[in-house]
Structure 1
Amino acid sequence: MARLSLNKASLHKESAKLKRYRQYLPSLDLKRRQLMAERAKGLARLKNTELQIEQCRQKVSETLPMLSYREINLNNLVKVSGVEIGEENIVGVNVPVLINHNLALMAYSPYLKPHWVDALVVRLKIMLELKLRQQVDRQRLMILEAAVKKVTQKVNLFDKVLIPKTERNIRKIRIYLSDAERADVVRAKMTKQIRIKQGV
């Protein structure tokens, strides 16, 4: 750590640093608040998606109790064939967005499968869409939480460390310069009195 120089140049440098820190802190704090608002929205969206998933499960268990009959092959009726995920920039943080998804339905004979398989396929489609949305929502939330943590650390660094330290340095330099100036004045007066006594 460099030793603090107690001179006017150092005072000017520390004052400029303090000014920069004070200009940067409000925008950083605003970014933190915006990210926290987005995180709250993301959490609400995730909870809503998870609620819809639970409601879909309940509906399936209520309307399709015949699923417990294991003799009918219900595997691979609906598959995810493609997912397109984009990016959205929120206050300088890139988060994923579900743009598009394709679900492939397996062809099956209505004569070989029971009539309720059609209703099951519809429910499976809805559930897969919700699960994809849930994955993206979780990823968004994780990224936003990390961003909030990082920006909060920066805000705390400026607010609790850099600004107070710079203010202390400025105070220290000013006191030193003030004492030095007072000592110069006293020395000048004493020199003048000595000269007067010596008759110079």
Structure 2
Amino acid sequence: MAFQFQYNKTSLNDLGKQLKVREGALPILKNKESALRAEVIKHKAQLKSAESEHQGVRDEGTELLELIGRFPIERVAIDTVDIEMRKIAGVAIPVFRDVQLKFLEILWHEAPHWYPDVYAYLEREAVETVKLELAKRQLAILERERKRTTQKVNLYEKVQIPELRDAIKKIKRFLEDKENLSKAAQKIVKSRKVEA
């Protein structure tokens, strides 16, 4: 997108202000981009860790598979997922805090002795599943924001700032040429008056 401008001082001042804003924002955007790159790398490692922890809990569940099959799973549901929003490099991402399970009509004093083991497993599995999903969402948010920031840096650095500089240079040349022509015309008029 080429900047629209007129060959006058007002347009020159407007383009100068736009250039100053973009040149001021560019280092900030570059810092944000590098911070987001570092966070993406960090969150990829956290995602791998969350996947391995989730798989570990799943493997633990294979030992309880027969008991889980006899457990009334339809009476267990996730009640609340407590998530807080935290800003990283100016980007709000969800962070896990807690998961609450809800049990419907289970008489614990009449339940078999293995119910607490299955309950503990289901709670760990729910926590690890929520953590895994949040880790995926965090990474997606950070990657999307890093991509947008990189695009903006490239737009400023490779397109808009050079175009603004070029437009300012053209306006300055035009105004200088106009001034030189005006001075030359004045000299011609002056020399004709002297001759007459």
When normalised by structure 1's length, the TM-score is 0.78
Structure 1 residues 18-29: aligned runs within 5 Å? 18-29=19-30
**Matched residues in 1 for 2:79 and 2:147: separation?**
36
Contact 1:80/1:101 (8 A) holds in 2? yes
Corresponding pairs, count: 189
Instruction: Look up the match of 2:166.
Output: 168
Contact 1:78/1:125 (8 A) holds in 2? no
| Partner SS state of residue 4, structure 1 | coil
Percent of matched pairs sharing the same residue: 28
| Partner SS state of residue 188, structure 2 | helix
* Candidates 70, 74, 77, aligned match of 2:71: 74
Contact 1:98/1:136 (8 A) holds in 2? yes
Q: Which has the larger radius of gyration?
A: 1
CA-CA distance at 1:68 after TM superposition: 6.2
Q: Aligned pair 1:109/2:129, yes or no?
A: no
Instruction: Look up the match of 1:99.
Output: 97
Letter in 2 for 1:9: T
Q: How large is the RMSD of aligned CA atoms in angstroms?
A: 2.9
Contact 1:82/1:101 (8 A) holds in 2? yes
Flag structure 2 segments of 5+ consecutive residues without an equivalent. Answer: none
Instruction: Look up the match of 1:12.
Output: 13
Q: Aligned pair 1:177/2:180, yes or no?
A: no
| Partner SS state of residue 7, structure 2 | coil
Instruction: Look up the match of 1:154.
Output: 152
The Cα offsets for residues 64-114 of structure 1, whole Å up to 9 and x where unpaired, read as 2x73699x613428653332112112233221111122245764312xxxx
Flag structure 1 segments of 5+ consecutive residues without an equivalent. Answer: none
**Matched residues in 2 for 1:45 and 1:84: separation?**
19
**Matched residues in 1 for 2:18 and 2:84: separation?**
40
- 4+ residue runs of structure 1 moved beyond 6 angstroms? none
Letter in 2 for 1:46: L
